[in-house]
Structure formats: C-alpha cells, structure tokens
Structure 1
C-alpha cells in the first residue's frame, strides 16, 4: 500500500438510516480505514447547491463550488495519492480533483448506475422533479466516467450498462458486502409461520411486494409480513413499518422473499437474509450479481406459480430458525474478509503504473 494519504469522499451521514446503500458505504469506510489507518482522510460534502445547478453541473449530494474547492485543497496540501469516491453521483469531485491534482489516482464506486436507477423511479412516478433527478445523476455519472482512473461496479451487468450509457465499461467488480451484525439466537418466538419481505418504500420494493400481494399471497397457507421504512399499507400482506431490530423477524420467519423486477446494483435484502441464516426465494433480478453458489443454494422463481410452489415446499418442512449453510455463503462472499481482499486489490495501483494524465480542457 502507498505511504501517501488516501482520501475517501462519501455523502454518508453518521445518522443515515440503515438502508442498503448506507450499510455498504459504512463497510467501505471501515475496510479502507483498516487498510490505510491514519493515512485515510475522510470528507463528507456538506454544500448546498441550487436545484438548477444540480441539474446543469452535477452538483448533488452536498456538492457545491465551495465543497469542491475544499476537497481539492485538502488533496493538494496533504499530498493525497488516491481518491475513493463512494458513489458515482460524486462525479463533480472527480472532475475537480483531476483538474486540480492530476497526479491523484481516482477510484469511483457505483452503488448503482444511478441514472438508470432513477429512470426506473421516474417511470414509476413521472414528474418534473424525478426527471430532474435523472438529469442531475446522469451529468454527475458522466463526469465520474470521464475523469476516474478506475470504475468499480457491483456486478458485470452494471459494467455493461456503463458502456451503453456512457461509452466505458467497469474496470473492476466489487460485489455487495456488509458488516456482520448480531443474529437472534434461540428458538422462534412466533410459531404461526410467515414469509418475510424486508425493504423500504422505494419504487422497486413497492412494485414487487404489491405484485406479490395480488398474485401470490392469497394462494399461500401462511401470512406475509413486510418490514421496512416508509412502506405504505398494502392489501393482502401485513406491513409492520420500520422496526428497531430486524434480527427477531428474520429468526421467526419461515423463509425470506425477494420479488423484485427492476433496479440496478445488487439487492441488499438477499445478503442480509443470508447473514441471518435464511433461505431466499426471489426473482432473477433479486439475484443479479450474486455468485452461482448463492443462487443454487436458494430458489429463483420467475412467476407467481413458481413462488407458490417454492414457498409451499419450504414452509412444509421443519426448518431451523438459523441455517449455518446460508450464513457460510454470506461469510464467503459478502462479509468483511471478502470486502477487505477485494478492496485491497482495487486500491493497489499496478506496478510501474504511470501517473494519470490530465484530461483535455
């Protein structure tokens, strides 16, 4: 590892809700700190760009001219060797650092192909503001693609999507990882049996569980429980809203479902279920980016009949509240050790690599 500082720029707030993006960002920050120790510098942009500036200049998620100037000054004054941008929506930072400190190696991590992700949200709920969000993220990502040395995606599909949207593929794949959290020990506290869906109220979760409530839940012998922040009431399933601790819900569930049909990146709910030792029944979209061993050990259902059959087969067995085989898959592919090995490889410049050249004006 280089002995010069590494700068991490992330919009993650310490009090951010515990969603998939926040969990992944926290993992990246923890692993980078483990790799670089006191040589890791962290910045959270806290500017306040206007909506128009956001659309026209890609200044979003706390980025404004003053924030960019502070980041460039820090990189120059501290002799930063590498910049890790935890989100392609920070492309304006890549552009500013490339121009102000052309010797810095810039690594940008794509939680999603954000423009594609927000395009799906726009199609779900069209409006002026959603299309503005698409435009702002497209501009920011375009800057990230143009000015980064290394583009990192969660899966190969997103890498190919970068090529279609921006003309350049990903340079590295860093699958989703998350910090290990305590699981609920002991026998189930609820013995009536239920299938569990975990997810907040963004469009792909709403659409997916609404479809499940219409097409699958009425045909099941067990109830369906939904746990997640900002999820609206949905007829046919029990929506619990946000909870303080997910662990007891995972323990007591017979099986976890992931009826997701759209999106980008990877679906955090699958890795989280594995961490809690649960079998997942999901759509092909839910398993995008996961290793073949994970997909084979769980169940992929392509339609309502497939979900009904798979759930009936699983709930008809005397399933343990925690399956060590599922947890082993999590540890192997999505735990801290996996994250450290992969990030260490990405943050090690190739031997003899020349400093990045400044882009044309």
Structure 2
C-alpha cells in the first residue's frame, strides 16, 4: 500500500467533464486497490463544486479538500503578461492560499508519491520539494502548448493571432523546461509520450483513460434514437470551435439530404450563441444529469475537433457504450482505432457529412461500428489493468 497525494487543477468529483473523469478513474482505482489517497484540488469559478455536495463516502475515500481559486481572465494582468516572458496560463494557477494548504498537508503526513494532474499545478513543485521527500510525477492530460498552437493557426484575426502566439510560445517554453524537475511523466496517449521522451531524461509511461469493464445496464436495451449528438464542456475552446465548424459547414449538407435529421448538443457552459440558437431539429440540451444516459439514448456521436491534444474522454465514453463515432483525425488522437472498423474519420465538411450519412442511412452499420468500438475500449482502456501499470510505475521510481 502506498500513500498518494493528488494535486488537481479542478475537483475530480463530480465527473462532469473529461478532466475530472480522467483524474477520478485513477484516484478511485488506486483507493479500491488498497492504496491510501488524498486529494487537494483547486475550486475555481470555471469549474466550481459545492463542497457540501460531495458525498460523505467519497470524502472518506479520498480525504478531498478544495481551495478556492480565481481563474477568471483579467484584461490588465493578461496584457502586462506580454512583457514578462512567463506563461499566463500557468501564472493564473499560482495561489498563496493553495500553497499554504499544500504545505500544511505535507507537514502533517508523509506521502510516497505526489501526483500533479496537469502541467498547470507545477508551480507548487518547489513547495513539495521543500516539505516532502515524496516522488513527484506529472499526469500530462495533454501537450498543453500544442492546443494553443493549433488554436493560433486557426485564428484569422491578426491581433488575436499575435496574442495567441505569445500564449503558445511562453507555454511551450515552460512546458519543455519544467519536465526534468519531475521524477516521472504519465501522459494519457502514446503519441504524447513520444513528445515527452524527446524532452526529458525522466521515465515516461503512458497511463491512458480507463473504463471499468462492467456489463452495460438496462439502458442498452432501450432503443436509441437515430440521431446525432455531441457531448463536451463548451468552455473548452476546441469543443466550441468544432461545433461552430460543424453547424456552419456540415449541418447544411446533411439537412439538405435528410431534413428530418436531429442533432442534440450537451455539455457544461454552453455559450450564448448556442443557447440562443433557433434552428429546426437542433436541441441544445446543456449540462445533463447523466452523461451515460444521454449517450445511450442517441445513436451517432460526432467529434469535429481541429485542435487539442491528449485524448478526448467523451469519445472513449461514447465508444465504451457501443456508439458509432464520426471524428476528425485530431479528435481521435490517442485512440488505437481502425478507420471504418470501430470509428469513422473525416477531416473535411464533405467527407464528414458522408460519414454521418453512411451511419444514419444504415443503422446496422452504426451498430456494427459501435460494437467494435466497445470491444476496443474494453481491451485498451481496462481501468483495473491501468491501475496495476500505474502501481508498477510507482514502485519503479520509489
């Protein structure tokens, strides 16, 4: 049994979006495997959790503590950051209150491993080294600077492009520099692992997002509506960017052929332009109580992503529930798929519309691809096996 402290950029409970899902599968998986875990998480305006809503059983299991953190973008500091050479993305996570709480925890308890969830918690490395002899590992959910590089490349506004270039360059410099200060790196995909191995001498082991291989409940027996759906937090820029592209470029092609086709959009933090959308057969659902139930109720998942890194958790969740997914190549990065067998890949408006049409017109084809997808995820993303791999990595560095 090991004593592990998780430092999280947001609360891992509830599992309302990809990041918390990725964190919590490891946290609960390690606890269920007999390890002692403690969670210290930022509680920001961007992803706020009422501490009183956290179930007592989860609090006992994880000893979770939340520290308020203001992550709102402030125009003046954002502008002045241009002249500092520092990453504004990282600097926003620096908090005296968070550091004080962390130091108090480190002084009160000995940990074997401190696992930082995302690069953005790395400013607290110095405090950990000063107050603990624990090994410190980085769980890299993405290659963070690559997300902003792709967003910059897609921008057409010269001023916006200039500032995005600053954000990307400073984040890239920081990301590459800080890696060797950790005792190990845990990327979510093998593709990301290859990048990290190029930039650090420390051990790098891929720890993918995991799902528990349990039989689907009775919801799979309810016939799914032959309709399209997208689920994902809309305050994550790549999601909003992708849906805007889909509605502008792909949806008109589809409705021309299938005027009865329906599209459902679910996820947290829907922007006003979507909430105010009034278009036939498009339903903006917003945040759903159960992502699993929502996914199970529809037949075709769309993932039109053109920026981002790591792996799209909601795609894996859809695949694990036997749903056929149409994605761009970027959206499917990190998944060991076979195009046409367990997913359909399309990178232009025309090919994306054709892929959707193929599934919409042939429900049996959608079922075939969905079942193959479910089988793939059960093999490659088996959470108990992933936990065993993670525990072995801990033993290797201790």
Task: Mark yes or no: TM-score above 0.5.
Answer: yes
Residues 122 and 72 from structure 1, CA distance in 2 versus in 1: closer, same or farther, beyond 3 angstroms?
A: farther
| Residues in 1 aligned to 2:340 and 2:224: alpha-carbon distance in whole angstroms | 29
1:195 to 228, 249, 264: 228
Structure 2: stretches of 5+ with no match in the other structure: 43-66
1:52-92 Cα offsets, whole Å, 9 max, x none, are 6998695544x534533443453354232211112221112
Q: Distance in 2 between matches of 1:6 and 1:200?
A: 28
**Cα separation, 1, equivalents of 2:137 and 2:224:** 46
Does 2:285 match 1:241? yes
Aligned mate of 1:329, from 371, 376, 379: 376
Aligned to 2:39, the other structure's residue is in SS state strand
Look up the match of 1:35: 33
C-alpha contact (below 8 Å) 1:225/1:240 kept by paired residues: yes
SS of aligned partner of 1:208: helix
C-alpha distance in 1 between matches for 2:331 and 2:15: 22
Question: Using the alignment, how far apart are the partners of 2:280 and 2:195 within structure 1?
Answer: 36
Structure with larger RCO (C-alpha < 8 A, sep 6+): 1
Name the counterpart of 1:358.
none
1:269 aligns with 2:314: yes
CA–CA separation in structure 1 for the residues paired with 2:202 and 2:350: 37
Structure 1 match to 2:207: 174
| Residue 207 (structure 1) aligned with residue 241 (structure 2) | yes
Q: Which residues of structure 1 form unaligned runs of 5+? A: 354-361
* 1:225 and 1:238 in contact (8 A); partners too: yes
**Distance change in 2, residues 1:333/1:156 (3 Å):** closer
Distance of 1:31 and 1:129 partners within structure 2: 40
Instruction: Return the alpha-carbon distance in structure 2 between the equivalents of residues 91 and 133 of structure 1.
Output: 17
CA RMSD of aligned residues (A): 3.7
Determine if contact 2:180/2:200 at 8 Å carries over to the other structure: no
Is 1:185 aligned with 2:220?
yes
Change (3 A) 1:64 1:287: same
**Residue in structure 1 matching 2:326, options 281, 299, 311:** 281
Alignment of 1:107 with 2:137, yes or no, is yes
Q: How does 1:299-310 map to 2 (within 5 A)?
A: 299-310=344-355
Q: Is the 8 A contact 2:180 2:202 kept in 1?
A: no
Deviation readout 1:241-264 (Å, 9 max, x if unpaired): 323333444334331111111111
* Structure 1 residue matching 2:229: 3-state secondary structure: strand
What is the match of residue 296 of structure 2?
251
Question: What are the superposed Cα offsets for residues 14-34 of structure 1, whole Å, 9 maximum, x if unpaired?
Answer: 665701111111112112222
2:306 and 2:328 in contact (8 A); partners too: yes
Residue aligning to 1:148: 182
Deviation at 1:284, TM superposition (A): 0.7
**Residue 64 of structure 2 aligns with which residue?**
none
Query: Aligned in 2, Cα 1:336/1:205: closer, same or farther, shift over 3 Å?
Result: same
Match of 2:267 in 1: 228
User: How do 1:120-139 and structure 2 match up within 5 A?
Assistant: 120=150, 126=160
Q: Deviations over 1:273-299 (max 9, x none)?
A: 112210111111111111145884211
Q: Taking structure 1 as the reference length, what is the TM-score of the superposition?
A: 0.78
Specify whether residues 69 and 146 from structure 1 end up closer, same or farther in structure 2 by C-alpha distance, changes over 3 A only. farther
SS in 2 for 1:145: helix
Distance 2:15 2:152 in 1: 23
- Superposed, which structure 2 residues align to 1:15-30 within 5 Å? 18-30=16-28
Check 1:178–1:326 CA distance in 2 against 1; reply closer, same or farther (3 A cut). same
Q: Does 1:97 align with 2:128?
A: yes
Instruction: Report what 2:8 is aligned to.
Output: 10
Match of 1:67 among 73, 98, 116: 98
Work out whether residues 175 and 334 of structure 1, in 8 Å CA contact, stay in contact via their aligned partners in 2.
yes
Residue aligning to 1:343: 390
CA distance in 2, matches of 1:185, 1:110: 33
**In the aligned structure 1, how far is the partner of 2:168 from the partner of 2:217?**
37
Please state if 1:79 is matched with 2:124: no
Task: Compute the TM-score of the two structures, normalised by the length of structure 2.
Answer: 0.72
